Amino acid sequence: MPLPDSGAKREPLHRRTIEIVGYRREDGLYDIEGRLFDRKDVEFPVGGRRRPPGEAVHDMWLRITVDRELRIVDAAAATDAMPYAGACDAITPDYAKLVGLSIGPGYLRHVKERLGGVNGCTHLTELAGSLATAAFQTFAGQGLAPPDRKPPQLDRCHALDSHGEVVARFYPRWYRGGTPAAQGGPTENH
């Protein structure tokens, strides 16, 4: 279902596309690869020149390679389009600093400590957070999580509150509320 009409006449100015793909590798590791692509719908002055509508302002890539425990064992970044050539792309090698981090509690804090502000690129650092979420999605359904470990998605959003109806129904082992009135108790485990 699309958003409701805004009720105002609008002119598009900026478009951002983020695409992330998770891969299982033949060596038992997983690559999570993302691309952030920005372009303007109008002529845009940046970096000492005027960019025509549709030309990329940002075209940036970030890949993390993780093991089964979601530890980053390799990372690489590339910048194909940027406002300030020679400056923006100079920081891409620093994204190797993601190696050694574990995706889990504290991940975003550690990313910002290593690559936040002037120590990184705003867009690549933002992409690093999205790749972490995509890593969980990549692992989902692959049978990688030990059965005795609480699924990492629980208590991370409104629908998956461990005291709520969804967890009672689909993750009864991890349900922490009372007997669900609407469902009459757990009925399914995924």
Contact in structure between 109 and 84 (CB atoms under 8 Å): no
pLDDT (tens, 9 = 90+) of the chain, 190 residues, equals: 899 999 999 999 999 999 999 999 999 999 999 999 999 999 999 989 999 999 999 999 999 999 999 999 999 999 999 999 999 999 999 999 999 999 988 999 999 999 999 999 999 999 999 999 999 999 988 887 777 888 878 888 899 999 999 999 999 999 998 765 444 444 443 3
Nearest CA to 66 out of 145, 139, 142, 153 is that of 139
What is d(CA 148, CA 173) in angstroms, rounded to the nearest whole number? 9
DSSP-derived secondary structure letter, 132: H
What's the token pair of residue 20? 């992330």
Predicted local distance difference test score (pLDDT) of residue 74 = 98
What's the token pair of residue 52? 């025509």
Predicted local distance difference test score (pLDDT) of residue 180 = 55
DSSP-derived secondary structure letter, 112: H
